Amino acid sequence: MRIEMLTSILSELNGSSADIEASAIVSSDGLMMASLLPAGMDEDRVGAMSAALLSLGDRTAKELARGALEQVLIKGDRGYILMTHAGEEAVLTVLAKPQAKLGLIFLDVKRAAEAITRIL
């Protein structure tokens, strides 16, 4: 039941913008909880990298006196990867197209993370 609710949130998030290509909810220890990823993308690898990067981002923000981490954004020539906390136990990872309107995606991701937090 909980997995279906999480997948429903991801489906709504992916449908909120044509610029969002994929999304996943990962536990803070790197295990995949729910995902809507492209075929051929390794869920285990996405989970492990998402948890590790967000953890490193947390530590970096604290060490450099930037306060509490809100998100990690990676920009590549083929698009963006956005990671944010979804409660204490999870990471929300989103893949977006290179020409994505990030302001709208940030808003949609924030709403999805809040919905995930309520479920978890």
What is the DSSP-derived secondary structure letter of residue 100? -
pLDDT of res. 25: 96
Residue 5 corresponds to which tokens in the numbers above?
Answer: 């609710």
Q: Where are the alpha helices (DSSP H) in the chain?
A: 2-16, 43-63, 102-119
| Beta-strand pair 79-85/90-96 | antiparallel
Assess whether pLDDT exceeds 90 at residue 1: no
CATH number of 2-119: 3.30.450.30
Question: What are the boundaries of each domain within the chain?
Answer: 2-119
Q: 116 near 9, Cβ under 8 Å?
A: yes
Residue-wise pLDDT tens digits, 3-57: 999 999 999 999 999 999 999 999 999 999 999 999 999 999 999 999 999 999 9
Helix, strand, or coil (residue 94): strand
